[in-house]
Amino acid sequence: MDDFSLVNECIKGNPKAQKALFDRFAPKMYSVCLRYMKNTEQAEDVLQDSLVKVFSKLNDYKNEGVLEGWIRRIVVNTCLDQIRKNAKFLGDMQADEVEYKLEHHSFIAENLMAEDLMKLVQRMPDGYRVVFNLFAIEGYSHQEIAQQLGITESTSKSQYLRARAYLRDRIGER
């Protein structure tokens, strides 16, 4: 079933279509949640909240763009909402003078398994993790990140650089 038909059937209340939508997108969106949240329990909670939003907003989907992208945006925004609620990461977001441990060679993680990298990302301080995910994975600009999180653009850039240094250091330890 194509995306448009699937959405229409879900709106009509067809349980088979609703299960099909869930089965198609929940695993991918769970991976997105894992990148933003600190542990599997938080990721599962945010995924559930996200999917409730998706199903409640299906009438808003206008078949413009890819359904997966529309769902991903809801999931990312739900993750950010949860992080804002906790607000613990705000202390990490303050810009201060720090000497970065960035080296001039390229960032290479060839020997890392995806699962290992996911664990490293989950262990990052909240501010690093959020900015890293938004910039490196979701493709947001630093200006967009600053607007989303209520921080300055330079803070976004510094958090991203710190996140890279954090990963580089942890990978070097392996």
Residue 96: pLDDT band with limits 50, 70, 90: very low
Query: Where is pLDDT greater, at 104 or 88?
Result: 88
Q: How confident is the model at residue 95 (pLDDT cuts 50, 70, 90)?
A: very low
**Three-state secondary-structure class, residue 104:** coil
Per the confidence metrics, is the pTM higher than 0.85?
no
pLDDT in tens, 117-161: 888 888 899 889 999 999 988 899 999 999 988 899 999 999 999
State the fold for domain 3-86.
Rna Polymerase Sigma Factor; Chain: A (1.10.1740)
pLDDT (0 to 100) of residue 87: 63
Q: 112 near 80, Cβ under 8 Å?
A: no
Per-residue model confidence as pLDDT tens digits over 69-94: 999 999 999 999 998 887 654 444 44
Distance between CA 102 and CA 164 in Å, rounded?
Answer: 8
Q: Is 173 exposed, middle or buried (0-12, 13-18, 19+ CB in 10 A)?
A: exposed
CA 52 – CA 143 distance, rounded (Å): 29
* Element housing 93 (H / E): none
Q: What is the pLDDT of residue 90?
A: 47
Which string of DSSP letters, residue by residue, matches 69-82?
HHHHHHHHHHHHHH
Task: Please provide the DSSP assignment of 117-151 as one string.
Answer: HHHHHHHS-HHHHHHHIIIIIS---HHHHHHHHT-
**Distance of alpha carbon 75 from the chain centroid:** 8
Give the separation between CA 34 and CA 42, rounded to whole angstroms. 8
pLDDT tens for 27-55 read 999 999 999 998 899 999 999 999 999 99
Q: How far apart are CA 57 and CA 11, in angstroms?
A: 9
pLDDT of 110 above 80:
no
pLDDT of residue 45: 95
Q: Which CATH fold topology does 89-173 show?
A: Arc Repressor Mutant, subunit A (1.10.10)
Domain boundaries, the chain: 3-86, 89-173
